[in-house]
Structure 1
Amino acid sequence: MDHWWQALDGMARFFWIVAIGASLFQLLLFAGSLFMGHEFDHGGADAHGGSAAEGVKILSVRAITAFLVGFGWCGALLTGSGWSILLTMVLAIIVGAIFMAMIFFIMRLLVSLKADGTLDYWNAVGQSGHVYVTIPAHRSGEGQVEVLFQGRLVTASAITDADEPLAPRTPVLIHSVEGQTTLVVSPAR
């Protein structure tokens, strides 16, 4: 191994150091994500409003590390094949930029897939369900309905404008939301 290293010129050594160093750092980032239960680098995501995917930055630690991995390995392989230094540098920068862009778009995709699990009761509008606890007529009190929305079976408070109380197991249609979580329903026809 020492003989191989001594046979390399200065530029080849530079590329090998970058390739191996960046690859080891990439492995540390990956291991940290696995074992620590969270990301070391959130890609620059902004937690103060807006879409999280929009907060992913191209100049994050992961993206820069990906650039260095692509740059280093491309340069190391091309200098070993006898390519000119100028062409090797240009191609290594292009490959590094491709690696960086791939990591950026993958991180952006992964962040956009994150869900916070918060129920938005407006997503229940237009859905059908059934009465769970009797709903008094003319909005004179609250009952409860069971409705499937956002992939969950939810029991929610409900009111109705119907002339008669809605008994348990009566099929209903959700029309709107009053307040934060009270569904406005009518009998399904």
Structure 2
Amino acid sequence: MIAWLSEALVLERIYWYLAIPFTVLFIIQLIATFLGLGDGDGMEGIEEGLDLDNDFEFESSLNLFTLRNFITFFTVFGWAGITFLNAGMGTSATLLLSTLLGIIMMLIVSVLFYFTMKLTHNGNMQIEYAKGATCQVYIRIPAKRSGIGKVNITFQDAFRELEAMTDDENAIPTGTVVQVKDILSNRILLVEKITGGD
């Protein structure tokens, strides 16, 4: 009985050592996420001295082994262990249940961030909607796809500046009104001069 009690006290101390610092990190992580610091995938912005980069590529897979999940796991693991030990559970049952709860919470957080990132990604520019739109040349577009120019275009309720090429025999000067014929790549438009354009 005394051996079990001392073992439980040592284990509870370990749980406290894990619960408190990871809870602090968890709260900082939550605040950073709600303030839009980093890309929502952990503590990258905080780790890099708040050197934040909002441009990110959406990844279609669940990332289980991230700093965010690591913090979540040990926060839940610590507080669950303290709770189960104070409820009078044995050390083996406490270790098993707190580990299980930590893993379950880690999976839940991963799934939530996966769908959040997917929604964010779906809200980004979908360049195929530019097809057929009219726009104005901002930087001269060389003839016969011999170089890249730029156009100012409005689509998806946003004003954008995108790269463009043309199949026209002559270069298209700045200020000319053109129409988007096709999409050549993720960010390059194929345009043609509109007869009667400026």
TM-score range, shorter chain: 0.5 to 0.7
- Out of 59, 68, 73, the residue aligned to residue 65 of structure 2 is 59
Gapped regions of structure 1 (runs ≥ 5): 1-7, 133-145, 160-172
- Normalised to the residue count of structure 2, the TM-score between the two structures is 0.54
Confirm or deny: 8 A CA contact 2:63 2:110 kept in the other structure. Answer: yes
Deviations 1:17-38 (A, max 9, x none): 2222210121233345567943
2:22 aligned with 1:19: no
Please give the secondary structure, in 2, of the residue aligned with 1:58. Answer: coil
2:76 aligned with 1:73: no
Gapped regions of structure 2 (runs ≥ 5): 1-7, 46-52, 137-151, 167-178
- Normalised to the residue count of structure 1, the TM-score between the two structures is 0.56
For residues 65 and 99 of structure 2, the distance between their equivalents in structure 1, rounded to whole angstroms, comes to 15
The equivalent residue for 1:9 is: 9
The 3 A distance-change label for structure 1 pair 36 and 125 is closer
For residues 32 and 161 of structure 2, the distance between their equivalents in structure 1, rounded to whole angstroms, comes to 40
Aligned ranges for residues 68-107 of structure 1 at < 5 Å? 68-107=74-113
The equivalent residue for 2:157 is: 151
Q: Percent identity?
A: 14
The 3 A distance-change label for structure 1 pair 36 and 105 is closer
The 3 A distance-change label for structure 1 pair 175 and 56 is same
Confirm or deny: 8 A CA contact 1:176 1:185 kept in the other structure. Answer: no
* Deviation, structure 1 residue 93: 0.8
* Deviation, structure 1 residue 174: 6.5
Cα RMSD (Å): 4.6
For residues 64 and 99 of structure 1, the distance between their equivalents in structure 2, rounded to whole angstroms, comes to 11
For residues 126 and 182 of structure 2, the distance between their equivalents in structure 1, rounded to whole angstroms, comes to 15
* Corresponding pairs, count: 153
* Deviation, structure 1 residue 108: 2.3
Deviations 1:82-125 (A, max 9, x none): 112111111111100011112222222333314796572x3223
| Counterpart residue type for residue 58 of structure 2 | A
- Out of 37, 44, 54, the residue aligned to residue 41 of structure 1 is 44
Moved more, 103-112 or 29-38: 29-38
